[in-house]
Amino acid sequence: MSTIPPPASVTRRELSGITPSGPLTLGNHLGALRRFRVQQDNGFYFVANLHALTTEHDPRRLRQLTLSTAALFFAAGLDPDRATVFVQSDVRAHVELSYLLESTAHVGELSRMVQFKEKGGRPGTRASLFTYPCLMAADILLYDTEYVPVGGDQSQHVELARDLAERFNTTYGDTFTVPAFAPAAIATRVRDLADPAKKMSKSAPDDAPGVIRMLDRVDVIRRKVRRAVTDSDNEVRYDPEHKPGLANLAEILSALTGLSTDEVLAPHTRYGQLKDACADAIISELDPIRRRHDELMNDPAELRRTIRHGAERASRIAEPVLQRAREAIGVGGSSTSSSRPSTGTVVGSGRKSQAMCNGPPSSGSTPT
Protein backbone atom coordinates (compact mmCIF):
# COMPACT_ATOMS: atom_id res chain seq x y z
CA MET A 1 0.00 0.00 0.00
CA SER A 2 1.55 3.27 -1.08
CA THR A 3 1.29 6.46 0.92
CA ILE A 4 1.33 10.01 -0.39
CA PRO A 5 2.78 9.96 -3.91
CA PRO A 6 5.86 12.04 -4.75
CA PRO A 7 5.42 15.59 -6.00
CA ALA A 8 4.54 15.96 -9.67
CA SER A 9 6.92 17.64 -12.05
CA VAL A 10 6.79 21.40 -11.64
CA THR A 11 6.11 21.63 -15.39
CA ARG A 12 2.63 20.16 -14.98
CA ARG A 13 -0.48 21.75 -13.61
CA GLU A 14 -2.90 19.51 -11.76
CA LEU A 15 -6.61 20.28 -11.70
CA SER A 16 -9.06 18.35 -9.54
CA GLY A 17 -12.57 18.81 -8.21
CA ILE A 18 -14.63 17.32 -5.39
CA THR A 19 -18.44 17.42 -5.43
CA PRO A 20 -19.96 18.67 -2.15
CA SER A 21 -22.63 15.96 -2.10
CA GLY A 22 -21.99 15.29 1.59
CA PRO A 23 -19.48 15.93 4.37
CA LEU A 24 -16.04 14.75 3.28
CA THR A 25 -14.80 11.41 4.55
CA LEU A 26 -11.56 9.76 5.56
CA GLY A 27 -11.57 8.30 2.05
CA ASN A 28 -11.66 11.78 0.50
CA HIS A 29 -8.73 12.78 2.66
CA LEU A 30 -6.54 9.76 1.98
CA GLY A 31 -7.52 9.52 -1.66
CA ALA A 32 -7.49 13.18 -2.63
CA LEU A 33 -6.74 15.93 -0.11
CA ARG A 34 -3.40 14.55 1.05
CA ARG A 35 -2.36 14.25 -2.58
CA PHE A 36 -3.49 17.82 -3.25
CA ARG A 37 -1.24 19.01 -0.43
CA VAL A 38 1.81 17.32 -1.90
CA GLN A 39 1.08 18.34 -5.51
CA GLN A 40 -0.22 21.83 -4.75
CA ASP A 41 2.40 24.02 -6.41
CA ASN A 42 0.74 25.20 -9.61
CA GLY A 43 -2.33 23.10 -8.69
CA PHE A 44 -5.95 24.12 -9.31
CA TYR A 45 -8.49 22.55 -6.91
CA PHE A 46 -12.18 23.33 -6.97
CA VAL A 47 -15.37 22.54 -5.12
CA ALA A 48 -17.57 21.12 -7.89
CA ASN A 49 -20.85 22.53 -6.62
CA LEU A 50 -22.46 22.60 -10.06
CA HIS A 51 -22.17 18.82 -10.24
CA ALA A 52 -24.24 18.64 -7.05
CA LEU A 53 -27.23 20.08 -8.94
CA THR A 54 -27.75 16.88 -10.92
CA THR A 55 -29.87 15.36 -8.15
CA GLU A 56 -32.31 16.64 -5.56
CA HIS A 57 -30.64 18.83 -2.95
CA ASP A 58 -31.32 21.39 -0.24
CA PRO A 59 -29.91 24.77 -1.38
CA ARG A 60 -28.99 25.84 2.15
CA ARG A 61 -27.18 22.58 2.82
CA LEU A 62 -25.38 22.82 -0.51
CA ARG A 63 -24.13 26.32 0.32
CA GLN A 64 -22.91 25.14 3.70
CA LEU A 65 -21.23 22.04 2.29
CA THR A 66 -19.57 24.10 -0.43
CA LEU A 67 -18.01 26.49 2.07
CA SER A 68 -17.08 23.67 4.46
CA THR A 69 -15.45 21.66 1.68
CA ALA A 70 -13.34 24.64 0.66
CA ALA A 71 -12.36 25.13 4.31
CA LEU A 72 -11.27 21.49 4.46
CA PHE A 73 -9.07 22.02 1.40
CA PHE A 74 -7.19 24.70 3.31
CA ALA A 75 -7.30 22.90 6.65
CA ALA A 76 -5.78 19.81 5.04
CA GLY A 77 -2.76 21.83 3.96
CA LEU A 78 -3.49 23.71 0.74
CA ASP A 79 -1.81 27.11 0.79
CA PRO A 80 -3.72 29.79 -1.18
CA ASP A 81 -0.40 31.38 -2.10
CA ARG A 82 0.77 28.14 -3.74
CA ALA A 83 -2.42 26.47 -4.98
CA THR A 84 -5.53 27.94 -6.60
CA VAL A 85 -8.62 26.90 -4.64
CA PHE A 86 -12.01 28.00 -5.93
CA VAL A 87 -15.68 27.17 -6.23
CA GLN A 88 -16.69 25.90 -9.65
CA SER A 89 -19.73 28.17 -10.02
CA ASP A 90 -17.54 31.24 -9.40
CA VAL A 91 -15.69 30.63 -12.69
CA ARG A 92 -18.41 31.13 -15.28
CA ALA A 93 -16.29 29.79 -18.09
CA HIS A 94 -17.07 26.27 -16.84
CA VAL A 95 -20.79 26.70 -17.61
CA GLU A 96 -20.34 28.46 -20.94
CA LEU A 97 -17.83 25.95 -22.28
CA SER A 98 -20.08 23.16 -21.08
CA TYR A 99 -22.84 24.43 -23.38
CA LEU A 100 -20.47 24.66 -26.33
CA LEU A 101 -19.52 21.04 -25.67
CA GLU A 102 -23.19 20.06 -25.35
CA SER A 103 -23.50 21.50 -28.84
CA THR A 104 -20.71 19.17 -29.90
CA ALA A 105 -21.81 16.00 -28.10
CA HIS A 106 -24.29 13.46 -29.47
CA VAL A 107 -27.36 12.23 -27.62
CA GLY A 108 -26.35 8.62 -28.16
CA GLU A 109 -22.97 8.92 -26.47
CA LEU A 110 -24.41 10.79 -23.49
CA SER A 111 -27.11 8.17 -23.04
CA ARG A 112 -24.42 5.49 -22.83
CA MET A 113 -22.74 7.10 -19.82
CA VAL A 114 -22.86 4.71 -16.87
CA GLN A 115 -23.99 7.37 -14.39
CA PHE A 116 -27.03 8.19 -16.52
CA LYS A 117 -27.82 4.55 -17.27
CA GLU A 118 -27.80 3.76 -13.54
CA LYS A 119 -29.68 6.82 -12.27
CA GLY A 120 -31.52 8.27 -15.26
CA GLY A 121 -34.79 7.26 -16.85
CA ARG A 122 -36.70 7.66 -13.61
CA PRO A 123 -39.52 10.11 -12.92
CA GLY A 124 -37.99 13.43 -11.98
CA THR A 125 -34.57 12.72 -13.53
CA ARG A 126 -32.88 16.06 -14.12
CA ALA A 127 -31.60 16.99 -17.56
CA SER A 128 -28.33 18.04 -15.93
CA LEU A 129 -27.63 14.39 -15.06
CA PHE A 130 -27.75 13.67 -18.79
CA THR A 131 -25.52 16.58 -19.81
CA TYR A 132 -23.24 16.57 -16.76
CA PRO A 133 -20.39 14.77 -18.64
CA CYS A 134 -20.10 17.85 -20.85
CA LEU A 135 -19.55 19.99 -17.77
CA MET A 136 -16.91 17.56 -16.57
CA ALA A 137 -15.25 17.77 -19.98
CA ALA A 138 -15.32 21.56 -19.72
CA ASP A 139 -13.67 21.34 -16.29
CA ILE A 140 -10.78 19.47 -17.90
CA LEU A 141 -10.47 21.25 -21.24
CA LEU A 142 -10.61 24.79 -19.84
CA TYR A 143 -7.13 24.40 -18.42
CA ASP A 144 -5.45 22.81 -21.47
CA THR A 145 -5.14 19.63 -19.47
CA GLU A 146 -2.75 17.09 -20.96
CA TYR A 147 -2.80 14.26 -18.43
CA VAL A 148 -5.83 12.93 -16.57
CA PRO A 149 -5.10 10.65 -13.60
CA VAL A 150 -8.50 9.14 -12.87
CA GLY A 151 -10.01 6.07 -11.29
CA GLY A 152 -11.89 3.46 -13.27
CA ASP A 153 -15.30 4.78 -12.24
CA GLN A 154 -14.66 8.02 -14.15
CA SER A 155 -12.63 6.73 -17.10
CA GLN A 156 -15.70 6.73 -19.37
CA HIS A 157 -16.23 10.44 -18.75
CA VAL A 158 -12.61 11.25 -19.47
CA GLU A 159 -12.83 9.28 -22.70
CA LEU A 160 -15.84 11.42 -23.64
CA ALA A 161 -13.80 14.56 -22.90
CA ARG A 162 -11.16 13.26 -25.31
CA ASP A 163 -13.78 12.50 -27.95
CA LEU A 164 -15.38 15.93 -27.63
CA ALA A 165 -12.02 17.69 -27.84
CA GLU A 166 -11.05 15.76 -30.96
CA ARG A 167 -14.45 16.31 -32.61
CA PHE A 168 -14.39 20.02 -31.82
CA ASN A 169 -10.86 20.35 -33.20
CA THR A 170 -11.75 18.44 -36.36
CA THR A 171 -14.97 20.34 -36.96
CA TYR A 172 -14.03 23.88 -35.94
CA GLY A 173 -10.25 24.00 -35.99
CA ASP A 174 -7.43 23.31 -33.56
CA THR A 175 -8.80 24.59 -30.24
CA PHE A 176 -8.34 22.15 -27.35
CA THR A 177 -5.51 20.08 -25.99
CA VAL A 178 -6.71 16.47 -26.14
CA PRO A 179 -6.14 14.98 -22.66
CA ALA A 180 -4.37 11.64 -22.33
CA PHE A 181 -5.01 9.00 -19.69
CA ALA A 182 -2.39 8.70 -16.98
CA PRO A 183 -2.07 5.95 -14.35
CA ALA A 184 -4.58 6.50 -11.57
CA ALA A 185 -3.08 8.89 -9.07
CA ILE A 186 -5.29 7.84 -6.19
CA ALA A 187 -4.22 4.50 -4.76
CA THR A 188 -6.04 4.63 -1.42
CA ARG A 189 -9.63 3.46 -1.72
CA VAL A 190 -11.17 3.36 1.74
CA ARG A 191 -14.11 1.02 2.22
CA ASP A 192 -17.14 1.39 4.46
CA LEU A 193 -16.37 0.09 7.96
CA ALA A 194 -19.83 -1.45 8.31
CA ASP A 195 -19.93 -2.92 4.81
CA PRO A 196 -16.45 -3.38 3.30
CA ALA A 197 -18.02 -4.40 -0.01
CA LYS A 198 -18.77 -0.68 -0.55
CA LYS A 199 -16.45 2.27 -0.61
CA MET A 200 -16.72 4.93 2.09
CA SER A 201 -19.12 7.44 0.52
CA LYS A 202 -19.66 11.09 1.35
CA SER A 203 -23.20 10.74 -0.03
CA ALA A 204 -24.11 8.18 2.62
CA PRO A 205 -26.49 9.37 5.38
CA ASP A 206 -24.73 11.69 7.80
CA ASP A 207 -25.11 9.16 10.61
CA ALA A 208 -23.88 6.16 8.57
CA PRO A 209 -22.02 3.96 11.10
CA GLY A 210 -19.34 2.84 8.66
CA VAL A 211 -18.38 6.26 7.31
CA ILE A 212 -15.73 8.31 9.09
CA ARG A 213 -16.22 11.98 8.34
CA MET A 214 -13.31 14.37 8.39
CA LEU A 215 -15.22 16.48 10.92
CA ASP A 216 -16.14 13.64 13.26
CA ARG A 217 -15.22 14.16 16.91
CA VAL A 218 -12.68 11.94 18.61
CA ASP A 219 -15.27 9.86 20.47
CA VAL A 220 -17.28 9.32 17.29
CA ILE A 221 -14.23 8.09 15.39
CA ARG A 222 -13.33 5.64 18.15
CA ARG A 223 -16.86 4.29 18.30
CA LYS A 224 -17.07 3.76 14.54
CA VAL A 225 -13.70 2.01 14.34
CA ARG A 226 -14.42 -0.23 17.32
CA ARG A 227 -17.68 -1.31 15.68
CA ALA A 228 -16.04 -1.95 12.31
CA VAL A 229 -17.03 -5.27 10.74
CA THR A 230 -14.30 -7.90 10.82
CA ASP A 231 -14.92 -11.67 11.05
CA SER A 232 -15.17 -14.42 13.64
CA ASP A 233 -11.90 -16.35 13.38
CA ASN A 234 -9.78 -13.79 15.29
CA GLU A 235 -6.75 -14.43 13.08
CA VAL A 236 -4.87 -11.23 12.32
CA ARG A 237 -3.64 -11.52 8.74
CA TYR A 238 -4.01 -9.56 5.53
CA ASP A 239 -6.49 -11.31 3.24
CA PRO A 240 -8.69 -8.86 1.27
CA GLU A 241 -10.73 -11.64 -0.33
CA HIS A 242 -11.65 -13.62 2.77
CA LYS A 243 -11.19 -10.96 5.46
CA PRO A 244 -12.20 -7.67 3.76
CA GLY A 245 -13.11 -5.86 6.98
CA LEU A 246 -9.78 -6.57 8.60
CA ALA A 247 -7.97 -5.78 5.34
CA ASN A 248 -9.73 -2.42 5.20
CA LEU A 249 -8.48 -1.50 8.66
CA ALA A 250 -4.97 -2.62 7.72
CA GLU A 251 -5.04 -0.56 4.53
CA ILE A 252 -6.23 2.54 6.38
CA LEU A 253 -3.49 2.16 8.99
CA SER A 254 -0.94 1.51 6.26
CA ALA A 255 -1.94 4.65 4.38
CA LEU A 256 -1.70 6.74 7.55
CA THR A 257 1.63 5.39 8.75
CA GLY A 258 3.49 4.70 5.51
CA LEU A 259 4.13 1.11 6.58
CA SER A 260 3.11 -1.97 4.60
CA THR A 261 -0.01 -3.87 5.57
CA ASP A 262 2.10 -6.71 6.92
CA GLU A 263 4.10 -4.28 9.02
CA VAL A 264 1.04 -2.64 10.58
CA LEU A 265 -0.51 -6.03 11.39
CA ALA A 266 2.64 -7.57 12.87
CA PRO A 267 2.40 -6.01 16.37
CA HIS A 268 -1.22 -7.08 16.86
CA THR A 269 -2.57 -10.46 17.92
CA ARG A 270 -6.16 -9.38 18.53
CA TYR A 271 -8.67 -7.43 16.47
CA GLY A 272 -9.26 -5.00 19.33
CA GLN A 273 -5.60 -4.00 19.36
CA LEU A 274 -5.64 -3.31 15.64
CA LYS A 275 -8.83 -1.26 15.93
CA ASP A 276 -7.37 0.86 18.73
CA ALA A 277 -4.20 1.49 16.71
CA CYS A 278 -6.25 2.38 13.66
CA ALA A 279 -8.48 4.77 15.64
CA ASP A 280 -5.41 6.45 17.18
CA ALA A 281 -3.86 7.00 13.75
CA ILE A 282 -7.08 8.38 12.25
CA ILE A 283 -7.57 10.78 15.16
CA SER A 284 -3.96 11.96 14.97
CA GLU A 285 -4.48 12.73 11.26
CA LEU A 286 -7.97 14.23 11.27
CA ASP A 287 -8.37 16.05 14.58
CA PRO A 288 -5.96 18.91 13.75
CA ILE A 289 -7.71 19.31 10.40
CA ARG A 290 -11.12 19.46 12.07
CA ARG A 291 -9.93 22.12 14.50
CA ARG A 292 -8.39 24.22 11.72
CA HIS A 293 -11.59 23.84 9.66
CA ASP A 294 -13.63 25.19 12.58
CA GLU A 295 -11.32 28.19 12.89
CA LEU A 296 -11.74 28.99 9.20
CA MET A 297 -15.51 28.60 9.35
CA ASN A 298 -15.62 31.03 12.27
CA ASP A 299 -14.48 33.79 9.88
CA PRO A 300 -16.66 33.14 6.81
CA ALA A 301 -15.99 36.57 5.28
CA GLU A 302 -12.24 35.95 5.14
CA LEU A 303 -12.76 32.40 3.88
CA ARG A 304 -15.00 33.63 1.07
CA ARG A 305 -12.46 36.34 0.19
CA THR A 306 -9.75 33.71 -0.18
CA ILE A 307 -12.01 31.54 -2.34
CA ARG A 308 -12.94 34.50 -4.56
CA HIS A 309 -9.25 35.30 -5.02
CA GLY A 310 -8.73 31.72 -6.20
CA ALA A 311 -11.64 32.06 -8.63
CA GLU A 312 -10.08 35.20 -10.10
CA ARG A 313 -6.81 33.36 -10.68
CA ALA A 314 -8.62 30.40 -12.24
CA SER A 315 -10.60 32.72 -14.52
CA ARG A 316 -7.43 34.27 -15.87
CA ILE A 317 -6.36 30.84 -17.12
CA ALA A 318 -9.79 29.65 -18.26
CA GLU A 319 -11.01 32.72 -20.15
CA PRO A 320 -8.50 32.58 -23.02
CA VAL A 321 -9.40 28.93 -23.62
CA LEU A 322 -13.11 29.77 -23.61
CA GLN A 323 -12.53 32.61 -26.06
CA ARG A 324 -10.67 30.27 -28.42
CA ALA A 325 -13.67 27.94 -28.33
CA ARG A 326 -16.20 30.76 -28.80
CA GLU A 327 -14.40 32.10 -31.84
CA ALA A 328 -13.86 28.66 -33.34
CA ILE A 329 -17.52 27.64 -33.04
CA GLY A 330 -18.77 30.97 -34.38
CA VAL A 331 -20.18 32.87 -31.40
CA GLY A 332 -17.14 35.00 -30.56
CA GLY A 333 -15.50 37.98 -32.26
CA SER A 334 -12.84 37.37 -34.85
CA SER A 335 -10.89 40.61 -34.59
CA THR A 336 -8.01 38.94 -32.78
CA SER A 337 -6.29 35.62 -33.25
CA SER A 338 -7.49 32.80 -31.03
CA SER A 339 -4.87 30.25 -31.92
CA ARG A 340 -3.66 28.14 -29.06
CA PRO A 341 -0.10 27.16 -28.19
CA SER A 342 0.95 24.23 -30.35
CA THR A 343 2.70 22.51 -27.42
CA GLY A 344 -0.46 22.06 -25.40
CA THR A 345 0.74 24.32 -22.63
CA VAL A 346 -1.60 26.37 -20.48
CA VAL A 347 -2.20 29.80 -21.96
CA GLY A 348 -0.09 32.45 -20.31
CA SER A 349 1.68 30.04 -17.97
CA GLY A 350 3.95 27.87 -20.08
CA ARG A 351 3.02 24.93 -17.84
CA LYS A 352 1.52 21.62 -18.83
CA SER A 353 -1.50 20.31 -17.00
CA GLN A 354 -3.04 17.22 -15.53
CA ALA A 355 -6.49 16.86 -14.05
CA MET A 356 -8.69 14.63 -12.01
CA CYS A 357 -12.40 15.30 -11.65
CA ASN A 358 -15.13 13.77 -9.60
CA GLY A 359 -18.54 12.80 -10.82
CA PRO A 360 -21.98 13.84 -9.68
CA PRO A 361 -23.51 12.78 -6.39
CA SER A 362 -25.40 9.53 -6.20
CA SER A 363 -27.77 7.91 -3.77
CA GLY A 364 -25.25 5.50 -2.36
CA SER A 365 -21.74 6.38 -3.41
CA THR A 366 -19.67 8.94 -5.24
CA PRO A 367 -16.31 8.89 -6.90
CA THR A 368 -13.58 9.54 -4.38
Catalytic positions, please? 119, 199, 202
* CA dist., res. 18 & res. 69, Å (int): 8
Strands 84-87 and 147-149: unpaired
Q: What is the 3-state secondary structure (H, E, C) of the chain?
A: CCCCCCCCCCCEEEEEEECCCCCCEHHHHHHHHHHHHHHCCCCEEEECHHHHHHCCCCHHHHHHHHHHHHHHHHHCCCCCCCCEEEEHHHCCHHHHHHHHHHCCCCHHHHHCCHHHHHHCCCCCCCHHHHHHHHHHHHHHHCCCCCEEECCHHHHHHHHHHHHHHHHHHHHHCCCCCCCEEECCCCCCCCECCCCCCCECCCCCCCCCCCCCECCCCHHHHHHHHHCCCCCCCCCCCCCCCCCHHHHHHHHHHHHHHCCCHHHHHCCCCCHHHHHHHHHHHHHHHHHHHHHHHHHHHCCHHHHHHHHHHHHHHHHHHHHHHHHHHHHHHCCCCCCCCCCCCCCCCCCCCCCEEEEEECCCCCCCCCCC
